A and B are shown apart, each in its own frame.
Chain A
Amino acid sequence: MTAPSNAPLLAIRSLHAAYGKIEALRGVDLDINAGEIVALIGANGAGKSTLMMTIFGRPRARSGRIEFDGQDISAVPTHEIARLRIAQSPEGRRIFPRMSVAENLQMGADATSSSEAERASGLERIFTLFPRLKERMSQRGGTLSGGEQQMLAIGRALMSRPRLLMLDEPSLGLAPLIARQIFDAIRALNRQDGLTVLIVEQNANHALRLAHRGYVMVNGLITLSGTGSELLQRPEIRAAYLEGGRRA
């Protein structure tokens, strides 16, 4: 709120994090500007998901800074980070299986204090992007198909009216048609609603086409960064993440 308008919305500086003795992040620097889609690509185990979770303090950063809107959030309790309006559709989607779709969405709305009107317009926006969720409102989350669960995970995140939306592998395990629908929705949210997005993807081709900028992560370090199209042209990216086939 006090940050000058040209400062990044999220600034990560020499971030270290570990699970026990295993170092997962070994000095990560990453910026996300307001209004951008930033893609983070890399092989399995590179630390992409860990980076997203470390932003939420799970695990806690060992050292380094995570600045959101000029405020260092690396020591803020996890549940309070959500209230700063950072939202995540995490790895594995993590839908509440024994809650209805409506309740799952309500959990997102509960994360931040929103008025009845904001909640209604949020729901309406989600139903425009994912009409299928509307038909499923009273169904239990655990009974949805994979694609519907992904839509719900994104919808739930959107209900908190996020300033930064983080998506971990939103296309994982989905049929190409459904994956396209998800990517289209992310693009629409960015272009039409001005939403800032950090997307982690194994589908580097899709992600880099969608993103304004991208980062490549290897073994807990950022090794490359650039605009989406720049990265798509780099031979080492093509070899490792595109032509070599998707890494499962």
Chain B
Amino acid sequence: MDYFAQQLINGLVLGSIYGLIAIGYTMVYGIVGMINFAHGDIFMIGGFIALITFLILVSFGLTAIPLILLIVLLVSMAITALYGWTVERIAYRPLRHSFRLAPMLSAIGMSFVLINFSQVAQGARVKPVPPIITGGYTLYEGAGGFVVQLSNIQIIVVVTTVVLLGLFTWLVSSTRLGRDMRACEQDQTMASLLGVDVDRTISMTFVIGAALAAVAGMMYLLYYGLVDFFMGFVAGIKAFTAAVLGGIGSLPGAMLGGLLIGLIETMWSAYFSVEYKDVAAFSILIVVLIFLPTGLLGRPEVEKV
């Protein structure tokens, strides 16, 4: 039971990171109907920018950890958002009225570009950072001597995710930009007849998705203490799986899917085998797609018009 509780905590933390990335996939799919295969690499870029910003701040002699974290968060969100904007602008927008597969192929190309760019610019080796946030709480000491722990970094990951999700939900449901995004998702022509600048709204979608991925990248860096140029690939596919599992196009679905994938992966590693954790996550996806093709919270395509 204690072991299970510990795995539950670990799974939820990992799931939070997947969920933040998954939102970017599902938002872009909702609004332009394409899978942005470069999104996982945007997450990787976010991790690198967080690392670079962190090192710069430390080299300036800054020592206040909360201040450093805040600056790193904001800087990596801003610069990664710029990457997201640029990718859309140069690789997707020119192809928007082309055949359906064109932007998707372009996205795969963009993914290679970002991976190779990072490898050339930052080197192929894994970049470790010393633990920045240490300590934690012992929640419970079991009879068998097993200790259930909640580390400070885990708290930070979950709290940051919850706060960002709250902000993001508010943005989508209650602001003009959020309304415009939903309008573009439902009927781009009608949105433009009502004065919505569709191009700008789509750009903003990529910007927001990239900013959330940057947060995930920073959390990953803090949690695992390393980044490398290839980390976006597997994390991206996992997050994409999470988005499909939750129902692609559904924002709560992306978060739920992220948490589930995080939990499945962690539990499988804990009780069965670490080597097969990816198999477990993807198998669940296959099963869900067979029985619930629109995902857990996805809406069926039929809509009364």
Contact = CB atoms under 8 A, between A and B. Distances in A.
A116 to B, nearest CB: 14
Interface residues of A, number: 28
B187 A103 contact: no
Contact of B194 (A92, A98, A160): A160
A138 interface: no
Contacts of B304: 97, 142-143
A131 to B, nearest CB: 23
Contacts of A80: 195
A88 interface: yes
A97 B304 CA distance: 8
Interface in B171-228: 176, 179-180, 182-183, 186-187, 189-198
A82 interface: yes
Contacts of A99: 179, 182-183, 186
Interface in A55-101: 56, 58, 77-80, 82-83, 88, 90, 92, 94-99
Interface stretch (A18-26, A105-113, A195-203, A211-219): A105-113
A90 B179 contact: no
Contacts of B176: 110
B305 interface: yes
Contacts of A88: 193
B303 interface: yes
B299 to A, nearest CB: 8
Contacts of A77: 197
B94 to A, nearest CB: 17
Interface size band for B: 20 to 34
Contact of A56 (B186, B193, B299, B303): B193
Contact of B195 (A90, A96, A111): A111
Interface in A97-156: 97-99, 103, 106-108, 110-112, 142-143, 156
B180 to A, nearest CB: 8
A94 B179 contact: no
B241 to A, nearest CB: 25
A96 B192 contact: no
Contacts of A82: 192-195
B186 A106 contact: no
Contacts of A160: 194-195
A82 B190 CA distance: 11
25 contacts: A56-B192, A78-B192, A79-B196, A79-B197, A79-B198, A88-B193, A94-B187, A95-B305, A96-B183, A96-B187, A96-B190, A97-B186, A98-B182, A98-B299, A98-B303, A99-B179, A99-B182, A99-B183, A106-B179, A107-B191, A107-B194, A107-B196, A110-B195, A112-B195, A160-B195
Give the top 8 A-B pairs by smallest Cβ distance, nearest first.
A82-B195, A111-B195, A94-B190, A78-B192, A111-B194, A96-B186, A79-B197, A79-B192
Interface of B: 176, 179-180, 182-183, 186-187, 189-198, 299, 303-305
Interface of A: 56, 58, 77-80, 82-83, 88, 90, 92, 94-99, 103, 106-108, 110-112, 142-143, 156, 160
Given A90-B193, A160-B195, 13 more contacts: A79-B198, A82-B195, A97-B303, A97-B305, A98-B182, A99-B182, A99-B186, A106-B179, A110-B194, A110-B196, A142-B303, A142-B305, A156-B194
